[in-house]
Structure 1
Amino acid sequence: MGITSHLKNSLAENFVRRAPGLYSHFMDLLRRSEDMSFEQRQALRDRLTARTLKQAQGTRYGRSIGGSATYDDWPILEKDVLRQDEALCSARTLLPARAAATGGTTGVPIVLRRSLQSVVFEQAVIDHLVKRHAGVDWKTARIAVLRGDTFKDPADMRPPHWQLRHGGLHLACSSIHLNAATVSDFVAAIRDFRPDILWVYPSALEAFVRLGAKFLGDGGLAGLKLVVSSSEVLDAAMQQEASVILKAPVLDFYGQSERVCASWHVKDSAHYFMPAYGRVELLPAHEDDTHSYYEIIGTSYCNPAQPLVRFRTGDLAKVRKGMGVADLEAVTLGILPFEGIEGRRSEYVLSPEGSRIIGINHIPRNVPDIAQMQIVQTSKAKVEIHVVPLQNFGEHAAGIILANARQKIPANMEVQIKTIDRLTRTASGKAPLVLRQID
């Protein structure tokens, strides 16, 4: 496809994603919501919730459960309910809805429907955050993309591993080809492109920064104004490391394919939910010595084609221990920060007895001389820990990995460490921490 065709597609896509009227309305709402008081945010939450409940009452799901106008009367909506009946929560809209799906990281993907409002609102959210934290217009910015783009055979290691798109404004790179042998080519190509923004999956950022550190040197990427990370959980240490090496802030955006709630994070441990995006509910999960962990339940605000009420995201919010009810409500409204997304329900290993072993995300922590790690359960009694090594990786690091693993994985399960050149990715290009080959 030539550059003229790319430009035409880009203009058409921009028109849809920034539809006149809707886009300016949402941008104004996002700006105003940030200046709202606690009481104003409560009123906004209640008004937007009432609208979603009314939309959801008209779906087959809403009718089947006798959904009322009272939020607390609705049960928690599980992902399996959507998997089993993709149209259960769908509603008719004036304009055709877009078909979408989850990444399928935890199994069978969920089929989704997105209204025009949902598409425009999601774009407005990204545009707003990027403008706020980097002063850059996403629409006209030069963006290097390290996400799930695929446009060549995974076995073809001959460069180029990238393509110009959107009229030359985007450099789409194939993360599946990023490894120790090719990273210097990636660094050179992205450096020559001179991006304003580097848009990444966290797993691709990890590989690019750790494997490419010696090629990036002390100068990072000249002209880079912001790294935008989304779609996977970004480790706080990786965020800081990437910011230092690339000489740019890293904006971590948390959301889901179901788009029921969102948060953002730029530095320190201050994560903020976005009060205009969706309703957030926190259900107690477990505690440790210093923190409490809450399941995130979300209700969408801007998708009349598939209004989701009290949807269990499967993600955990990490909150300072001892917060009272009022403080937790302030967290859900984006006034007080929380300390991050701590793992996901899909990140577990099954024991031979069938119980779920959680806390697997602790295994990679404080391990030196590795670029990346992935835990692959190949049988009920065996786990392989796949490591993308750095130059000095050896017995010392392997010993730390094994010690970390044995804090979680029982002695009746075999643990084997394997070095690899790149992680296994799903069809959507994501690289989950845990892959179970026995479900």
Structure 2
Amino acid sequence: MTVRSWLKNIAVGDLIRRTPGFYGYFRALLQKIDHASFNERKLITDRLLETAHKTAIQTPYAHTRNIQENDYLWPYLEKETLRDAHNLFRRRSFLPLSKATTGGTTGIPLKCVRSWRSVVFEQAVFDHLAALNGVSWKKSRIAILRGETVKDPSDLTPPFWIKRHGGKQLSLSSNHLNASTISFYIEALRQFQPELLWVYPTSLKMLCRLAPEGRFELPTLKLVFSSSEVLTPEMNEQARSMLCVPIIDYYGQAERVCASYSTRVGEHYFLPAYGHVELVFSYDDPEFDFYEIVGTPYWNEAQPLVRYRTGDYARAPKGLTESEISEICLGIRPFFGVSGRQSDYLISPEGGRLKGLGSIVRDIPDVVQMQLHQTALDTIQIHVLPMPGYSQETEKLILHQARQKIPESMKIEVVCVDRLYRTKRGKAPLVVRTIAS
């Protein structure tokens, strides 16, 4: 039996996620490192990294690469390598494992395995961050608007939610949230009276944008926890204004190699106790430098990965020194946030990869959300969820902004739809390519 199936039972699930011994140690470590200096953090994380290396050396992957115990010059680990040879990265465990398959938003679906300690550590992180904002994750009534499969997506008759964990959790379907169902969602949330709202950013965006007259209040709500997708600064500001509660913008991956969080718009901090972070310069624009995030997890003995290239980019100030980058990696100095993914690109007929596409969908009025679909090398469809004020002028603005990133050799068509494409995990990626990449 996997941990995932055990978690369906509240008593057993809570015991696993907060296993005595592991859980208490992790909470204490997170609190200690929050108050530690740069040198103290460096000492702690160097020891954790050394242990992670010793664990990873025991994998078949290390044996095939002839990596020795004192060899710290591990090569970068690509997603394709993990996908094609995932069994080489696993270690045996006598404890139940949590197994998952990523939804493929990076373009490369992966099979992931997590150890018992990794599951407990993740819950300790969630509890720690909530506690920093005066909220108990364990005791709160939690509404979840993420990737839950509640019913057939074509069934548009309420309810679109299920109560779980003795009525303390309300799991709502992101797939059914649209203009015709928004009133049911708002009423269900008001009746449930959540203290914590755990969301995908794209679902939070739809919830706020579709709310009648742009108003949405939940008097009992204390905290919003946003994760698993990129929360844009604009959406962060709008949700804070509407819901009048703090928002934790949490960044992680299915591979669980590192993590960061933000409680203020534009200020993200890596969690140094989670995993070792390297920032590798990738590209820049007139405002920011972009660094690919490379991580080595500390707690997943079942699938220990070293120097794993996440394909995600940290948006940082221009011209950082090496010491400033080290401070960011250890959570001392903030960066601006995670911006896009390696898969968020279009392929031009000339063979180039068009990136920085977030600006196309930014600051468009009378639109709930947009998504870029590449159906051929020379054809882009922009799928739009329109609001009542949507007009030809809106469409002209969309086309104008798209042309700032997409060359004339590619046709652009704006298509109004009633729902966006979502992966099996309920995520709505910015770019959907149905051509070979």
Find the aligned partners of 1:69 and 1:319 in 2 and give their Cα distance. Answer: 34
Confirm or deny that 1:294 pairs with 2:291: yes
Helix, strand or coil at the partner of 2:264: coil
Q: Cα 1:397–1:11, aligned 2, differ >3 Å: closer, same or farther?
A: same
- Asked whether the 8 Å contact 1:68–1:74 carries over to 2, the reply is no
Confirm or deny that 1:376 pairs with 2:370: no
> Aligned-pair RMSD on alpha carbons?
1.5
- Asked whether the 8 Å contact 1:369–1:390 carries over to 2, the reply is yes
Find the aligned partners of 1:286 and 1:107 in 2 and give their Cα distance. Answer: 20
Aligned runs of 1:64-83 on 2, under 5 Å?
64-69=64-69, 72-83=72-83
- Asked whether the 8 Å contact 1:233–1:343 carries over to 2, the reply is yes
- Asked whether the 8 Å contact 2:107–2:343 carries over to 1, the reply is no
Q: Cα 1:213–1:40, aligned 2, differ >3 Å: closer, same or farther?
A: farther
Q: CA deviation at 1:366?
A: 1.8
- Asked whether the 8 Å contact 2:145–2:172 carries over to 1, the reply is yes
Q: Partner amino acid for 2:353? A: R
- Asked whether the 8 Å contact 2:83–2:110 carries over to 1, the reply is yes
Instruction: Give deviations 1:72-106, integer Å, cap 9, x for gaps.
Output: 51000000001101211111234232222222223
Find the aligned partners of 1:346 and 1:8 in 2 and give their Cα distance. Answer: 32
Q: Cα 1:297–1:390, aligned 2, differ >3 Å: closer, same or farther?
A: same
Q: CA deviation at 1:419?
A: 0.9
- Asked whether the 8 Å contact 1:184–1:215 carries over to 2, the reply is no
Confirm or deny that 1:264 pairs with 2:229: no
Task: Please list every run of 5 or more consecutive structure 2 residues that lacks an aligned counterpart in the other structure.
Answer: 1-5
State the match for 1:362 in structure 2: 359
Q: Cα 1:327–1:215, aligned 2, differ >3 Å: closer, same or farther?
A: closer
Find the aligned partners of 1:30 and 1:10 in 2 and give their Cα distance. Answer: 25
Q: CA deviation at 1:8?
A: 8.4
Find the aligned partners of 1:108 and 1:325 in 2 and give their Cα distance. Answer: 31
State the match for 1:150 in structure 2: 149
Instruction: Give deviations 1:192-243, integer Å, cap 9, x for gaps.
Output: 11100111001100100001152745xx111100010000111111011001
- Asked whether the 8 Å contact 1:198–1:224 carries over to 2, the reply is yes
State the match for 1:124 in structure 2: 124
Q: CA deviation at 1:290?
A: 2.8
Confirm or deny that 1:223 pairs with 2:220: yes
Instruction: Tell me the matched-pair count.
Output: 431
Q: Cα 1:8–1:103, aligned 2, differ >3 Å: closer, same or farther?
A: closer
State the match for 1:31 in structure 2: 31
- Asked whether the 8 Å contact 1:293–1:317 carries over to 2, the reply is yes
Q: Partner amino acid for 1:267? A: R
Instruction: Give deviations 1:152-186, integer Å, cap 9, x for gaps.
Output: 11111111111111110011111111000110110
Q: CA deviation at 1:7?
A: 11
State the match for 1:178 in structure 2: 177
- Asked whether the 8 Å contact 1:100–1:112 carries over to 2, the reply is yes
State the match for 2:3 in structure 1: none
Q: Cα 1:239–1:285, aligned 2, differ >3 Å: closer, same or farther?
A: same
Task: Please list every run of 5 or more consecutive structure 1 residues that lacks an aligned counterpart in the other structure.
Answer: 1-5
- Asked whether the 8 Å contact 1:157–1:177 carries over to 2, the reply is yes
Runs of 4+ in 1 over 4 A off after TM superposition: 69-72
Q: CA deviation at 1:118?
A: 0.4
Q: Partner amino acid for 2:357? A: I
Q: CA deviation at 1:107?
A: 3.4
Find the aligned partners of 1:90 and 1:7 in 2 and give their Cα distance. Answer: 22
- Asked whether the 8 Å contact 1:187–1:215 carries over to 2, the reply is no
Confirm or deny that 1:410 pairs with 2:376: no
Q: Partner amino acid for 1:250? A: I
Q: Partner amino acid for 1:268? A: V
State the match for 1:3 in structure 2: none
Helix, strand or coil at the partner of 1:26: helix
Instruction: Give deviations 1:91-138, integer Å, cap 9, x for gaps.
Output: 1234232222222223352111111000100011001101112x1211
Q: Partner amino acid for 1:193? A: F
Match of 1:311 among 297, 308, 311: 308
Q: Cα 1:286–1:21, aligned 2, differ >3 Å: closer, same or farther?
A: same
Match of 1:249 among 227, 246, 250: 246
Instruction: Give deviations 1:250-274, integer Å, cap 9, x for gaps.
Output: 1110000000100001113110000
